[in-house]
């Protein structure tokens, strides 16, 4: 059995008034302290390398997409947000996606696609804003997802640094 | 025979006072949000107009266009009438408040800035203010919802226990000034030394506490009780009916702040300037009233709500005996013709 022992109040506490005045003085002082509000649309969010925004596809320096449409991200996606149709290309890697759709309404920004990708082709960018007028407009196709590599460089470096921790000498 | 000038003067006064009351009620909703924001390191409404000053207008427009829902099984007539009953007493009681001394413009005396200078002003305000709880109770009962009913019940119990204290403290002031006329009560406090707050310190404190309970404000907002009763008596209300409840609450706050100013802070008397012109007096009155209005907001964002049994035990076991003792003591002093401060002076 639990016996809760109530705190014995002193006379000053029983009178309420001194304690009430103490509380009032605290709230009055706080009124003059600066606000911590971030005025969001005007003041942008603070973004760090750890920020896991919407997934984006890497476009290499030679203007070619890094994705080889292996479908691993599609398989890893827990929300079934990714749809890929593979196709052939004349480049050395021979394959590139003909269609790469991410349904941003289904995407839960978990980052599994980023982890699954063997070609460092998909990364979680720092883009967070997601609003549109129709559901169709929020199914992003390959053109909307493409980003030059340098735009994602901070995140790429961060992911590589984290992955290095688990890199064993035997793995390449 | 009433001259048409008198009617015109009265009409102008009514328009000024009533219009200001509604305005203050609307601005108080903004002030509430602004001050609460500042106390919590936030900014508060700042999107509509400069410093969010048009926010009350935007809220009003929103309320008008909101759908007004009525729960199934509600008493349709009482459900519609309750918001009106809650707001009306506040609008009526403002009539007896004298806001300034005699207004003199160009040698013309227009009387006090008051809708009605009643000889029974105190009695009138108390009797009408006592009706305000009907809106809360009927609104709670007519909603056919258990939360609303609980809120209404609590409001009625609280109102009965605290109105006694309120009346007894006011009675002590009335005994001191020997009149029920609010204008004469404020006239008796022309100099700062005569303010009733000095001769009635205990009465003033009891009045302030009872004032919070009377207007259902924190820490005594048992009619609403967001934490346990959803929203208390106005759980089922929406749209303009809900807005009317709010307008009533803020108007009641304004009126009781005015009453506290008249009874304890000398109404329009300016400290250390007894012969101040009427407009300075009016400014002093408004300043004193806004101190009380700020106190309402300040306390709301500081204190947690009492428990209901605590509320009852404070009301009946502490406030009421103290108010009775205060009244008895005042009665003795008045009937013997003693002056409190002179009596204290004699002790030393």
Residue-wise pLDDT for B11-36, tens only, equals: 888 898 889 888 888 889 899 999 99
The pTM of this model reads 0.79
CA distance linking residue B266 with residue B188, whole number of Å: 8
Q: Which domain holds residue B32?
A: 4-53+74-347
Phi-psi region of A136 (alpha: psi -120 to 50; beta: other; left: phi over 0): alpha
Q: Are B38 and A31 in contact, with CB atoms under 8 Å apart?
A: yes
Q: Which chain B residues have a beta carbon less than 8 Å from that of A20? A: 299, 302-303
User: What pLDDT does B342 receive?
Assistant: 62
Judged on CB neighbours under 10 Å (0-12, 13-18, 19+), A156 is middle
Q: Are B120 and B105 in contact, with CB atoms under 8 Å apart?
A: no
d(CA B61, nearest CA chain A) in Å? 25
Residue-wise pLDDT for B96-141, tens only, equals: 888 888 777 777 777 777 888 888 888 998 888 888 888 888 888 8
Q: Which chain B residues have a beta carbon less than 8 Å from that of A35? A: 37-38, 41-43
* Bridge-based pairing state of the strands A146-148 and B108-109: unpaired
User: What pLDDT does A90 receive?
Assistant: 85
Structurally, chain B folds into a number of domains equal to 1
Q: Which chain A residues have a beta carbon less than 8 Å from that of B220? A: none
Please indicate if any CB of chain A lies within 8 Å of the CB of B205.
yes
Query: Roughly how many angstroms between the first and final C-alpha of chain A, as a whole number?
Result: 61
Please indicate if any CB of chain A lies within 8 Å of the CB of B43.
yes
d(CA A9, nearest CA chain B) in Å? 15
The torsion angles phi and psi of B39, rounded to 5 degrees, stand at -70, -20
User: What pLDDT does B295 receive?
Assistant: 92
Over residues B271-292, mean pLDDT: 86
Over residues B330-337, mean pLDDT: 83
% of chain A residues with pLDDT over 70: 97
Structural domain includes residue B62: no
Cβ-proximal residues to B114 (8 Å cutoff; 6+ apart), any chain: B13, B17, B95, B96, B97, B98, B99, B182, B183
| pLDDT of A171 higher than 60 | no
Over residues B65-94, mean pLDDT: 86
Please indicate if any CB of chain A lies within 8 Å of the CB of B302.
yes
Q: Which residue of A has its CA nearest to B35?
A: A31
* Greatest mean pLDDT among A4-13, A49-58, B270-279: A49-58
| Domain boundaries along the sequence of chain A | 55-164
Helix (H, G, I), strand (E, B) or coil at A88: strand
Cβ-proximal residues to B317 (8 Å cutoff; 6+ apart), any chain: none
Closest by alpha carbon to A20, among B233, B97, B321, B303? B303
Q: Positive or negative, the Cα torsion across A92, A93, A95, A101?
A: negative
Q: Which residues of A touch B (CB under 8 A)?
A: 17, 20, 23-24, 26-28, 30-37, 39
d(CA A44, nearest CA chain B) in Å? 17
Cβ-proximal residues to B303 (8 Å cutoff; 6+ apart), any chain: A20, A23, B218, B219
User: What pLDDT does B344 receive?
Assistant: 64
| pLDDT of A78 higher than 90 | yes
Q: Which residue of A has its CA nearest to B46?
A: A39
β-bridge partners, A147: A58
Domain range A55-164, CATH class? alpha beta
User: What pLDDT does B340 receive?
Assistant: 65
User: What pLDDT does A76 receive?
Assistant: 92
DSSP B66-116: S-----TT--HHHHHHHHHHHHHHHHHHGGG---SS--EETTEE---S-S-
| pLDDT of A170 higher than 60 | no
% of chain B residues with pLDDT over 90: 7
Mean pLDDT of chain B: 84
Q: Are B36 and B44 in contact, with CB atoms under 8 Å apart?
A: yes
% of chain B residues with pLDDT over 70: 96
Please indicate if any CB of chain A lies within 8 Å of the CB of B47.
no
User: What pLDDT does A106 receive?
Assistant: 92
């Amino acid at each position: 059995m639990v016996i809760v022992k109530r705190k014995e109040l002193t006379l000053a506490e029983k009178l309420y008034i001194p304690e009430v005045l103490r509380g009032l003085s605290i709230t009055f002082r706080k009124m003059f302290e600066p606000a911590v509000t971030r005025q969001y649309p005007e003041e942008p969010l603070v973004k760090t390398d750890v920020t896991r925004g919407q997934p984006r596809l890497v476009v290499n320096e030679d203007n070619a997409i890094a994705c080889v449409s292996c479908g691993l991200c599609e398989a890893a996606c827990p929300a079934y947000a990714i749809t890929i149709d593979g196709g052939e290309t004349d480049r050395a890697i021979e394959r590139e996606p003909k269609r790469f759709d991410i349904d941003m309404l289904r995407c839960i920004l978990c980052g599994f696609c980023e982890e699954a990708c063997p070609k460092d082709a998909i990364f979680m960018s720092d883009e967070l804003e997601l609003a549109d007028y129709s559901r169709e407009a929020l199914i992003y196709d390959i053109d909307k997802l493409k980003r030059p590599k340098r735009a994602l460089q901070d995140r790429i470096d961060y992911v590589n640094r984290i992955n290095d921790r688990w890199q064993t000498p035997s793995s390449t | 025979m009433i001259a048409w000038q008198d009617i015109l003067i009265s009409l102008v006064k009514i328009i000024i006072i009533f219009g200001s009351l509604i305005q203050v009620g609307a601005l108080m909703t903004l002030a509430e949000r602004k001050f609460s924001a500042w106390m919590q390191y936030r900014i508060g409404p700042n999107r509509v107009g400069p410093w969010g000053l048009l926010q009350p207008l935007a809220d009003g427009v929103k309320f008008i266009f909101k759908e007004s829902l009525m729960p199934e099984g509600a008493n349709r007539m009482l459900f519609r009438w309750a918001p009106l009953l809650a707001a009306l007493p506040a609008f009526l009681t403002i009539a007896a408040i004298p806001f300034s001394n005699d207004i003199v413009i160009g040698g013309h005396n227009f009387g006090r800035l008051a809708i009605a200078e009643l000889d029974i002003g105190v009695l009138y305000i108390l009797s009408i203010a006592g009706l305000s709880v009907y809106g809360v109770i009927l609104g709670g009962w007519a909603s056919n919802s258990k939360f609303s009913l609980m809120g209404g019940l609590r409001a009625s119990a609280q109102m009965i226990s605290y109105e006694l204290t309120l009346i007894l403290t006011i009675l002590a002031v009335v005994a001191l000034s020997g009149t029920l006329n609010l204008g004469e009560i404020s006239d008796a406090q022309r100099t700062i030394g005569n303010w009733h707050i000095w001769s009635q310190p205990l009465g003033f404190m009891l009045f302030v506490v009872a004032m919070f309970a009377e207007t259902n404000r924190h820490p005594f907002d048992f009619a609403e009780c967001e934490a346990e009763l959803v929203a208390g008596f106005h759980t089922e209300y929406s749209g303009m009916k809900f807005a009317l409840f709010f307008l009533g609450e803020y108007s009641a706050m304004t009126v009781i702040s005015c009453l506290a100013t008249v009874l304890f802070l000398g109404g329009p008397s300016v400290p250390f300037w007894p012969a101040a012109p009427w407009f300075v007096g009016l400014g002093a009155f408004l300043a004193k009233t806004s101190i009380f209005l700020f106190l309402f907001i300040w306390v709301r964002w500081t204190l947690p709500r009492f428990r209901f049994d605590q509320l009852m035990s404070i009301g009946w076991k502490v406030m009421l005996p103290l108010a009775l003792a205060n009244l008895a003591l005042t009665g003795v002093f008045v009937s013997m013709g003693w002056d409190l401060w002179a009596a204290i002076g004699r002790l030393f």
